């Protein structure tokens, strides 16, 4: 019997980066939920089809992804953060959350997926 692929919510407002991330996730045997480019769409996807984990770009244009991170935390869904900015922009509640620098390297993403229990 084949194991069902893990569903990873991808929240990224740059279409090219989202495509690259989706391809990386697929290479690890994960299905991408989304990508969602904004908070509203991400929250809707979480309600419709809760993912096994999520990868969030912190900055979504003029918005931040913290409402999404809190919604995922309430559901005990692991989060991976990605940002092209300094570590200082991380809310203290998520200081222990894996943070990947952008551009995200495939090896870093794999390590983060292991850390949150998606890959072994």
Positions of the chain with pLDDT under 50: none
Does residue 91 lie in a domain region? yes
H/E run at residue 77 = none
pLDDT given at position 24: 98
CB 52 within 8 A of CB 113: no
pLDDT given at position 72: 99
pLDDT given at position 90: 86
User: What secondary structure does DSSP assign to 89-118, as a single string?
Assistant: GS-GGGTTS-EEESSPPHHHHHHHHHHTTS
Query: Per 3-state DSSP, what percentage of the chain is helix, strand, and coil (rounded to 5)?
Result: 40, 25, 35
Does residue 106 lie in a domain region? yes
The 10 Å Cβ neighbour count of residue 46 is 21
Does residue 52 lie in a domain region? yes
Does residue 120 lie in a domain region? no
Looking at the 3D structure of the chain, how many domains does it have? 1
Does residue 79 lie in a domain region? yes
Does residue 104 lie in a domain region? yes
Residue 12: domain span: 7-115
The CATH number that applies at residue 84 is: 3.40.50.2300
pLDDT given at position 84: 85
Cα-flanking dihedrals φ and ψ of residue 83, to 5°?
-160, 145
pLDDT given at position 85: 76
23-53 pLDDT tens trace: 999 999 999 999 999 999 999 999 999 999 9
Does residue 2 lie in a domain region? no
Report the distance separating Cα 43 and Cα 81, nearest Å.
Answer: 16
Does residue 1 lie in a domain region? no
């Amino acid at each position: 019997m084949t194991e069902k692929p893990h569903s990873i919510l991808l929240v990224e407002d740059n279409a090219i980066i989202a495509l690259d991330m989706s391809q990386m996730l697929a290479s690890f045997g994960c299905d991408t939920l989304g990508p969602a480019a904004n908070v509203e769409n991400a929250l809707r996807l979480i309600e419709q089809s809760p993912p096994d984990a999520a990868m969030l770009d912190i900055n979504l244009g003029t918005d931040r992804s913290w409402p999404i991170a809190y919604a995922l935390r309430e559901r005990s869904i692991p989060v991976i953060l990605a940002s092209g900015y300094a570590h200082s922009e991380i809310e203290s509640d998520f200081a222990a959350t894996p943070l990947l620098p952008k551009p995200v390297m495939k090896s870093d993403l794999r390590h983060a997926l292991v850390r949150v229990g998606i890959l072994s």
